[in-house]
């Protein structure tokens, strides 16, 4: 009786791991499809239709036919990421403290800011606590 319970639990856990690996493989294939810029939209749609209706066979065919390309795209992705992130940081970063102070001074000259507000902005731009 105890071995039947153990066998059932073992079988359930084994099937759970296999199903999880299968889902991971399908998700990885879909991500690779959308990551590939050389593949056209119609070809991507056909792969997705086959993945929905004949998933196991299509996944095996995809891995055999496009497996080396998957590795190349996965390897190229981290190499491109720092370039994009550095470029993004440069595009959204704030100006230098001198530029911030100059802008605040122009606002004071226009009468938009008070001298107290200017001092607070200047301290903030210089990283001082106010």
36-86 pLDDT, tens digit per residue, is 888 888 999 999 999 999 988 998 999 888 888 887 877 776 665 666 566
Tell me the residue length of the chain.
Answer: 130
Rounded to an integer, the average pLDDT of 103-129 is 85
Q: What are phi and psi of 40, to 5 degrees?
A: -75, 170
Higher pLDDT, 124 or 89: 124
Report the number of secondary-structure helices (H) and strands (E) in the chain. Answer: 5, 0
Place of tokens 């959308």: 34
Instruction: Output the pTM of the full model.
Output: 0.53
């Amino acid at each position: 009786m105890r071995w039947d319970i153990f066998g059932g639990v073992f079988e359930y856990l084994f099937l759970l791991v296999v199903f999880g690996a299968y889902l991971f493989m399908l998700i990885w294939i879909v991500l690779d499809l959308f990551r590939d810029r050389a593949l056209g939209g119609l070809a991507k749609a056909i792969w997705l239709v086959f993945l929905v209706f004949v998933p196991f066979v299509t996944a095996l065919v995809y891995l055999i036919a496009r497996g080396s390309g998957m590795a190349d795209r996965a390897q190229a992705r981290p190499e491109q990421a720092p370039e994009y992130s550095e470029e993004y940081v440069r595009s959204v970063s704030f100006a230098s403290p001198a530029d911030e102070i100059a802008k605040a001074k122009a606002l004071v000259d226009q009468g938009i800011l008070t001298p107290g507000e200017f001092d607070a902005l200047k301290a903030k731009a210089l990283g001082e606590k106010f």
